[in-house]
Amino acid sequence: MDQGIRNPVLRILVYGHVWLALGAAAQTAWVQELLGIGGWRAPVLAFCGTIVGYTFMRWARMDHPELGMAPHLAWFRENRKPLLYFSLFCLGCGSALALPHALALFRLLWPAAVITLFYVVPPGLVGGRTLGLRRVPLLKAFLIAGCWAMVTVCLPLAVNDVEWNLDQHRWVLEVQCTFFLALVLAFDVRDRAMDERALRTVPQLLHPALTMCVAVILLLYPALVFHSLASNYHHLRVDKGGVGWPWSLVLASVGYVLTAVVVGFSGSRRGPLYFDLLVDGMLVLVPLLWWLGTLI
């Protein structure tokens, strides 16, 4: 049986969802830059919300009869008390930050809240049955990707009291949707053998290799978007007598290409560190390359 991650520090980082929460914070902070707004509240809220949301979903699934021996759930069960305390701390911090913007957050993020609450229903609440939105055939990947995209785009808007504008903000939402969907498809390929057939995930309906091709193609969209933005900006500067490239846009495009490479080389034979550190690490890589580009 797969023993999962053995290093105790990495277990806390990965199984405790700290790495994932840092990725959510990085993505949210980066999207703020793309939207021309700033501040620290939205990234911190993204971190806290990720910890709380994923702790709830792990708690809901840890006693599932078919998943109880999964390494991450076994670790969660053993450490549920400190994880619960940390989650409650994040819930308190997040609530304090969110309260002044409660109406705006609800208006923009209620779909993400519904997905999180009903993605997995604890078996103890429904007579031991396995219920939840994740069990709707084919929806699993799209629910996760859509939820992440909504949070990283709408959270900065709500916290900074910026109204949603379809014409101005749609392109960022599209970039985020394709990025997250590609990552989720990679994880679905990894979990294909463990997922129940009734879930009908994308890799279960398509061949895993074809699913990976779809994921790589999806990542070409944000890469081309940022390449096009960089090219247009470069030509505008040349026309005005300037020189040089907007390296933040260029390196963001490179980040998506690197993500496509990482996703393309993933598969069911890869170990937990490849997925939980490297693939999830793409959440941090793209914003990091963007910020490095601003320094050039």
Per-residue pLDDT of the chain (296 residues; tens, 9 = 90+): 355 788 889 999 999 999 999 999 999 999 999 999 989 999 999 999 999 988 887 776 666 555 555 677 788 888 889 999 999 999 999 999 999 999 999 999 999 988 888 777 655 555 555 566 777 778 889 999 999 999 999 999 999 999 999 889 999 999 999 999 999 999 989 888 777 777 788 888 888 899 999 999 999 999 999 999 999 887 776 555 555 788 999 999 999 999 999 999 997 788 888 999 999 999 999 999 999 999 98
Residues with Cβ within 8 Å of 293's Cβ and at least 6 positions away in sequence, in order, are 246, 247, 248, 249, 250, 251, 252
Q: What are phi and psi of 295, to 5 degrees?
A: -90, -15
Residue for token digits 């580009």?
293
Residue for token digits 């933040």?
248
pLDDT tens-digit map of 1-57? 355 788 889 999 999 999 999 999 999 999 999 999 989 999 999 999 999 988 887
pTM of the model: 0.90
End-to-end CA distance of the chain: 48
> Any idea where the domains of the chain sit in the sequence?
8-294
pLDDT tens-digit map of 236-263? 765 555 557 889 999 999 999 999 999 9
Cα(54)–Cα(232) distance, rounded to whole angstroms?
Answer: 40
**Of 254, 264, 239, 238, the residue nearest 293 (C-alpha):** 254
> Reduced to 3 states, what is the DSSP secondary structure of residue 121?
strand
Count Cβ atoms below 10 Å from residue 214 Cβ, excluding itself. 15
